[in-house]
Amino acid sequence: MKKILITGGAGFIGHNLAREALAAGHEVRILDDLSNGYRDNLDGLDVDFREASLLDEEAVGSAVKGVDSIVHLGALGSVPRSIKDPLRSHHANATGTLTLLDRARRADVTHVMCASSSSVYGMNPALPKNEREWVRPMSPYAVSKLATEQYTLAFQQSYGFETLAFRFFNVYGPGQRAGHVYAAVIPTWIDAALNGRPLFVNGDGSNSRDFTYVGTVCEVLLSAAERRTSHPEPVNLAFGTNTTLAQLIAELQAALEFPVQLQFREPRPGDVPHSQAENEALRSLIPGIEPTQLAEGLRHTVDWFQQTIERKSR
């Protein structure tokens, strides 16, 4: 049994990971200031919950004590939010990461995994994205996630930490909420479709992404925590798919089993046009991992939304 600290554990990926870790017999501590997460995501989960910011050095120092591994998911997401308020994104993502790492160092906790982002590749047009390709972030959010991964990897070289810096690629699945201005595309579209609203498409539908199901992401993170997996370079956590928004709409209509309305608008500033991962490093570190295919993942996600609507209507 491991004692695992999940920062941002009340958020979308974090609470899914907490559930998987508990089911595997591990002890889970969560640090979350609820700026992105929701306390009710943890209902029914036997976790040690600490409500505090990553910028609160005393609270972070207390949270890291006695844990075997840290999965650092706590962050302020969203490219548009970072463009609106770049300092807030920097403080939460870059300074928050450094605070966590420094407090882990003082507590002799040396296995840390962090969530970086495919957005760090930015203006690099190469497909698929290889971790050794050059990066050129296009938004303050992407810069802050580059700082997150590089601080984490630097602690490996400077202090002998065992670290993993995963670059996430458009994670989706059950538990990812819509209903706020910075919501991701899949929950936003499912929520709109189920409520009879049009799906807003930024651009002409040709932008592409490497969508990754949350269950697969959690399987990778938990396996790495259990085995204290480490790597000296960033690792793409995705499986080389290249789905355009137009293709996503077709898959989503199949999962919903009814047609959707579309409304096109201008592309958003800071958005990367195309994203696709090479995953040789991931497969060498986590052998045998098989991703959930998009059609299946969308069905699970639509089911979760429909069940949520049914619960609210009772």
The reply to whether 285 falls in a domain is: no
Q: Which domain holds residue 105?
A: 3-169+213-238
Q: Could you tell me where the beta strands, DSSP code E, fall in the chain?
A: 3-7, 27-32, 48-51, 69-72, 111-117, 162-168, 171-172, 199-202, 208-209, 212-213, 235-237, 243-244, 262-265
The reply to whether 82 falls in a domain is: yes
The Cα–Cα gap between 115 and 75 comes to: 9
* Number of domains into which the chain is organized: 1
The reply to whether 279 falls in a domain is: no
> Taking Cα atoms as reference points, which of 155, 64, 152, 156 lies closest to residue 115?
152
φ, ψ of residue 262 in degrees (nearest 5) = -120, 145
Residue 126: CATH number of its domain: 3.40.50.720
The reply to whether 129 falls in a domain is: yes
pLDDT of 62-87, one tens digit each? Answer: 999 999 999 999 999 888 899 999 99
> Taking Cα atoms as reference points, which of 233, 241, 211 lies closest to residue 284?
233
pLDDT of 155-187, one tens digit each? Answer: 999 999 999 999 999 999 999 998 776 678 999
Report yes or no: 253 and 259 within 8 Å, Cβ to Cβ.
yes
The reply to whether 218 falls in a domain is: yes
Predicted local distance difference test score (pLDDT) of residue 8 = 98
pLDDT of 102-158, one tens digit each? Answer: 999 999 999 999 999 999 999 999 999 999 999 999 999 999 999 999 999 999 999
The reply to whether 269 falls in a domain is: no
The reply to whether 55 falls in a domain is: yes
183-187, 281-285, 290-294: range with lowest mean pLDDT: 183-187
The reply to whether 247 falls in a domain is: no
